[in-house]
Structure 1
Amino acid sequence: MSAAGDALHRMVFGLLSMVPSRGQGRLLGRYFDWWHRNPDPWNYHGEPYEKYKHKRTIEVLPARPYARIIDVGCSEGTFTHLVAAAYPESETVGVDISRRALARAESGKDTSSARFLALDILNESPGGSFDLVFCAETLYYLGRSGRLRQASVRLAGLLAPGGLLVLTHPWPEARRLYRCLDADPALLRTAEHVDDGSGRPFAITIYQRQAAG
């Protein structure tokens, strides 16, 4: 996307975030259902940049067991299935606002233990806590800072004590998107890997939820 197109894109989602959050969720659901009228609209399966980003995200994870894993904004589950394969002993869940995307995610489960759930992260919770939470290329769709704060609270609330939140977004925009997470006293940013070798810089940022007390 060109710089002008990217600016227009951000402006549209900023305006969309001016409606009540549940209305915003419904509109986003329709928007992403429209995008998923054709399979794999962002070419996650074939685009080298996307495949490299998924590979790097898994590579930088601390080597430790994760009993419960969730991928927020999973689309058709390409990355979710990779995570389930990397951690076969874990319970892996993918959630997305597009039911059309999730139907395709379910169809790819022949060799994957991942399960999928329709969910609006601004207004709904999957229940329970998780040892590992992923959120990639999602936060910039939420628009204004108030909605980013709302989503940040939701994401932090998914973490079990000691659990990790792993975010992957364009760099340097990631720094703006993560301000609320940086300000959360319950979270500690433990790592940030900025990759600019592809001509499309992105950051993989890891936060850990502090144990109570």
Structure 2
Amino acid sequence: MNNHKKTLDASYFNALYGNNQDPWNFEGSDYEKNKYAQTMLMIPDDVYARVFEIGCSNGVLTEMLQNRSQRLLAVDSSRVAVENAKKRLEKYHHVIVVEMEVPREFPALKFNLILLSEVGYFMVAEELLALRDKLIAALLPGGHLLMVHWTPVVEEFPLTGDQVHEFFIEESDESGPLDHLKNRKEPEYRMDLFKRKPVPA
């Protein structure tokens, strides 16, 4: 684990989006289009009452996700990304886009579906574990948590996608709060779907 590295914070992403408003080519990449399609197929229910998307970027996936949401909170740490997502999503009145840097900032709400996509490996292990605890606490019993991350090693990232997912799989043993429902591995990314177990009385 890359313990010498630091979490890539909002300043990193604001600089990134300041130089290129679509730094990962979310709009035009065939890879991203295929990954988004598989992401939507991985989500079990047709519609969720309250959805939380962490790392919405410019809102391309958010626009797909809004079809499966009665209420959708989409957040990103980049001010530029949030401004662009708001423009894309302004016609969807059930969608709220907010600048938020998790886990330091976190909504005081409960959710039926949480999507953590391409975010976890930007954090050091300590912060990811803090986020994990907050996500689990915010997930309603029976609610779903879907994780999607690029798996090849990126030198500047504190963690790999596989390391991120393993932190959550640790919470899905017999005594843990999550059930691990499904795993999908592709050459360059993986998906893991979890379900929140009933909260003990």
- Paired letter, 1:45: E
Hey, what's the Cα distance between the residues in 1 that align with 2:135 and 2:98?
Answer: 16
Deviation at 1:195, TM superposition (A): 2.1
Match of 2:112 in 1: 131
Note if contact 1:74-1:95 (Cα within 8 Å) is conserved in structure 2.
Answer: yes
User: 2 CA distance for matches of 1:90 and 1:193?
Assistant: 27
Deviation at 1:206, TM superposition (A): 0.5
Q: Does structure 1 retain, via aligned residues, the 8 Å contact 2:179–2:195?
A: yes
Gaps of 5+ in 1: 1-9, 18-26
Task: Tell me the amino acid that sits aligned with residue 97 of structure 1.
Answer: S
Work out whether 1:90 is the aligned partner of 2:70: yes
The 1:171–1:125 alpha-carbon spacing in structure 2 relative to 1, beyond 3 Å, is: same
User: What does residue 5 of structure 1 align with?
Assistant: none
SS in 1 for 2:143: strand
Deviation at 1:130, TM superposition (A): 0.6
Aligned to 1:207: 194
Distance change >3 Å, CA 46–CA 140, structure 1 → 2: same
Q: TM-score, normalised by structure 1?
A: 0.80
Deviation at 1:64, TM superposition (A): 4.2
- CA distance 1:170–1:41, change in 2 (3 Å): closer
In the alignment, the residues of structure 2 paired with residue 193 and residue 15 of structure 1 have an alpha-carbon distance, to the nearest angstrom, of: 28
Q: Deviations over 1:24-67 (max 9, x none)?
A: xxx61111011111321111010110111011100121134310
Aligned partner letter, 2:59: G
State the SS of the aligned residue for 1:211: coil
Q: 1:159 and 1:94 mapped to 2: Cα distance?
A: 15
**1:159 corresponding residue in structure 2:** 139
What is residue 120 of structure 1 aligned with on the other side?
A: 101
1:1-213 equivalent positions in 2, closer than 5 A: 14-17=4-7, 28-37=9-18, 38-84=20-66, 86-87=67-68, 90-113=70-93, 114-143=95-124, 145-171=125-151, 173-184=160-171, 185-196=176-187, 201-213=188-200
Aligned length: 187
Gaps in structure 2 of 5+ consecutive residues:
153-159
Q: Is the 8 A contact 2:42 2:193 kept in 1?
A: no
- Residues in 1 aligned to 2:45 and 2:74: alpha-carbon distance in whole angstroms: 21
Indicate conservation of the 8 Å contact 1:168/1:202, yes or no: yes
TM-score (norm 2): 0.85
